[in-house]
Amino acid sequence: MNSGDYWPSWLQRLTQMLAVFRNRLITASVCRAFQRAIVQNHELTRPQSETLVLFLMDNCTELFKTPTSLIEAVRRTLRTMQQGIDPDSITTFTFCQQVAPQDYEDQREATTLESLKFIFSFLTVQFNSITGLAFFVFFTDASCY
């Protein structure tokens, strides 16, 4: 006999809701207990810091998960070491390079110009498709006849 035959469905739902309430109550008490230790920012209000701690508690597995790119880099390094190759000869990460102020300004202007051109072309296409659609709807609407 399964539990669905023995307990009425409303009682099962009630026990599930009580379990959720108990978990939330425990979470809230843990949040209040560790809030000052976890969030040491005096600019946040109490509800904001509680919300932050609850977010951290709800998403801790995702937040503190080792990035897959790091795992792959370690695997590659270990494989190269097992093959007897110097691990420093293979780059695993790309680091930022400092550029001259003039180069930065040139890149900034070029990138901004490319972005503006893209936005303009996108809006032009959207406008033309909307205008064409409005023209089509206006002249194919049965109420116009």
The reply to whether 43 and 76 lie within a common domain is: no
The reply to whether 70 and 50 lie within a common domain is: no
Q: Is residue 141 over pLDDT 60?
A: no
Neighbours of 80 (CB within 10 A): 16
Domain ranges, residue 10:
1-58
- Given a contact cutoff of 8 angstroms between Cβ atoms, the answer to whether 14 and 8 are in contact is no
The reply to whether 70 and 88 lie within a common domain is: yes
What whole-number distance in Å separates Cα of residue 142 and Cα of residue 133?
A: 15
pLDDT of residue 2: 54
Q: Is residue 143 over pLDDT 50?
A: no
User: Using 50, 70 and 90 to split pLDDT, how confident is the model at 137?
Assistant: very low
Q: 80-106, pLDDT tens digit by residue?
A: 889 888 877 777 666 677 889 999 999
User: Using 50, 70 and 90 to split pLDDT, how confident is the model at 110?
Assistant: very high
Tally of domains in the chain = 3
The reply to whether 88 and 136 lie within a common domain is: no
The reply to whether 38 and 81 lie within a common domain is: no
The reply to whether 43 and 84 lie within a common domain is: no
pLDDT of residue 145: 42
Vertex 118 angle, CA 117 and 123, to 5°: 100
- Given a contact cutoff of 8 angstroms between Cβ atoms, the answer to whether 52 and 39 are in contact is yes
The reply to whether 52 and 71 lie within a common domain is: no
Q: Mean per-residue pLDDT for 64-73? A: 88
pLDDT of residue 101: 92
Q: 26-68, pLDDT tens digit by residue?
A: 777 777 777 878 888 788 888 888 888 888 877 888 888 888 8
**pTM higher than 0.75:** no
